[in-house]
Amino acid sequence: MKIVIRAGGSGTRLWPWSRNTRPKQFLPIFDDGRSCVQEACRRFLEPGLVEIEDIFVSVGADQEQLAREQLPHLPGNNFIVEPAKMDTAAAIALETVIVAGQDPDVIIASLGSDHYVGKPRAFVDSLDNARQFLADNPHKMLTIACKPVRVETGYGHIKKGEEIGEYGGRTFFAVEEFTEKPDYQTAKNYTKSGQYLWNANFFAWTAGTLLEQFREFEPRMYETFMQIRDAIGTAEFGMKLRELYPSVKKTAIDYAVLEPAADRGRLAVLPVSMQWSDIGSWASITDAFSPDPHGNLLRAPVFDTDTQNCTVLAENHNRKLIATLGLENLAIVDTEDVLLIVPKSRAGEVKDLVKNLENHPEYRKLT
């Protein structure tokens, strides 16, 4: 099995801590200063799931140097650099042709990097189970999903169907439905039914099976990536990649491949209880890091009075005292050049705020 850690996202929902030059997967999120990318790499190496030569990191050109600095022991050729941001379908197609080359039987686990996993052993074991499953079912594609612990509108959902088989004591299911982020009532119904799982953005498949889906559902993308694959190992590879990659369709892997494949019975799901959170916004960061008895997550010098369910983070040299009085359900983020104050109920809109700033000539540099 080859592991690809996808680290090309922008993490705008955690702005202003997360920036284009240092998105959330590279931030020192954990108490010992490790980033999500560093933690992901260590997660797979320490139990001996794979060797370091089998771990790859997919990253945007703007973050390549940062990735290399944070993962100095990773072989230099194991960094897959996207010359342009083209969404997850293109990123996953590129990683597949580079990692597998001409070998369609290579099993690839394509894994998001900007997540918290509270039970890493359960996750690693599930990847070993996935390897066994795909060895017996090479024409299936697999998603590793999480059992919901609450009603959640911020995650895509996967409806599990009939049982396919059991590997390593874990049961694999057919995917009956692959859905986008639901509204509250729909999410409530999903959770109550017990049939839906959270899409954790963890996938596994053989290279040949994935590329066959591209050939069927996105033939123009497929042809472009075959040209890129044929140039690997030649002097023209870099030029071909820079020329062809920005021309492909900009779309998510969900729309391009997973949803149509699920409709045709080609997608399987493995439910895993691993205490997963995507650390997706200032409202959900407490999924990964425990708040105090008042529901506050305080990562700054804070004098809080009558304050509940607030997240306060400061990252600046002055580290000035932040005093709060009578506040509820707010996120306060103080960096060197930006102060953000937002109700947690609207934390998902920070991404839209960043888009507006990117269009502003004076403030673009702050994104």
Do 192 and 140 share a domain, yes or no? yes
pTM for the model stands at: 0.90
CA distances from 294 to 275, 286, 291, 309, 313 (A): 22, 12, 7, 6, 16
Residues 130 and 13 in one domain: yes
261 and 154 in a common domain: yes
Q: Count structural domains, the chain.
A: 2
Residues 37/305, Cβ–Cβ less than 8 Å: no
Residue-level pLDDT, tens digit, the chain, 367 residues: 999 999 988 888 899 999 988 888 999 888 788 899 999 998 888 778 899 999 999 999 989 999 999 999 999 999 999 999 999 999 999 999 999 998 999 999 999 988 889 899 999 999 999 999 999 999 999 999 998 888 888 788 999 999 999 999 999 999 998 888 888 899 899 999 999 999 999 999 999 999 999 999 999 999 999 999 999 999 999 999 999 999 999 999 999 999 999 999 999 999 999 989 888 789 888 888 889 999 999 998 999 999 999 999 998 777 789 999 999 999 999 999 999 999 998 988 999 999 999 999 889 999 8
Instruction: Provide the terminal-to-terminal Cα distance of the chain, rounded to the nearest Å.
Output: 37
Give me the helices (H) in 118-168, please: 120-136
CA angle 272, 29, 153 (to 5 degrees): 50
Helix (H) or strand (E) holding 271: strand 267-272
Shared domain for 329 and 265, answered yes or no, is: no
Report the 10 Å Cβ neighbour count for 132. 14
Instruction: Tell me: do 92 and 232 sit in the same domain.
Output: yes
Tokens of residue 164, six digits:
């396919």
The domain in which residue 28 lies consists of 2-277
> Do both 247 and 294 map to the same domain?
no
